[in-house]
Structure 1
């Protein structure tokens, strides 16, 4: 499993490189896009969701802001609070990231038949505690 995980990370990284996005930045973009707080997340929200220190989020946001994927906006209720908003460029980048992840998955799963993929999906779901793996 560990070897497969490393291989998947290498393949994903290779597919992300042309987009100029690191895996950590990709993850942050997905968190911002799917944040369920009713408004854009704060830096502290992102740090908690990503399970990293706030300084790490600042660096990621700086890079994504330089690439015009996110922007910092003041919270209308409390001007001292900064929220992180996805831009149109960020949404377009997310679409490209989804395609890159799909291509990476296809590359790693290419030796398997459709039936083998289905079995593997079920096994991985069970191991990860998905709906089929819960008692």
Structure 2
């Protein structure tokens, strides 16, 4: 495939992918929380990797700890996240998804994760890395967020 053919195919494909992802919709139980795209990555990390500290979340999300702290505060006030002191270091806060919302979040984010799993599984580890690296390069080339 020539570069321009690939560009053409992707320019047609990306809006359809985004449209289908949006149609997954927020579960009824979560609609009233006004979850924004910035919350999705935070929730995905907690869902797939389990409870973690503000600093761990900040490192993974590639944002300042203060930014994560604000998001966690917002989601905690709504009851979506739980915060507790780290028993080993009381200065650290451990963040997790509240038990009453975990199933809804898992169902919601799990649909996208399962689609990615089915799409990526047939690829070799090298091909998966190339795919992810290509998407990251595309994001960089679009400019600052």
TM-score tier after normalising by the smaller chain length:
0.5 to 0.7
The 2-side partners of 1:24 and 1:12 are apart by: 15
The 2-side partners of 1:2 and 1:56 are apart by: 32
Higher relative contact order (CA 8 A, sep 6+): 1
TM-score by length of 2: 0.58
The 2-side partners of 1:17 and 1:77 are apart by: 36
Q: Tell me: CA distance 1:93–1:4, structure 2 relative to 1, closer, same or farther (3 Å).
A: same
Determine which of 83, 108, 111 is the counterpart of 1:72.
83
Across the aligned residues of Structure 1 and Structure 2, the Cα RMSD in angstroms comes to: 3.5
> SS at 1:34's partner residue?
helix
> Residue 74 of structure 2 corresponds to which residue in structure 1?
63
The 2-side partners of 1:55 and 1:84 are apart by: 14
The 2-side partners of 1:63 and 1:3 are apart by: 37
1:27 maps to 2:25 = no
> Residue 127 of structure 2 corresponds to which residue in structure 1?
129
Unaligned runs of 5+ in 1: 106-117
The alignment of Structure 1 onto Structure 2 pairs a total of residues equal to 113
Q: Tell me: CA distance 1:11–1:51, structure 2 relative to 1, closer, same or farther (3 Å).
A: same
Unaligned runs of 5+ in 2: 1-9, 132-145
> Residue 46 of structure 1 corresponds to which residue in structure 2?
57
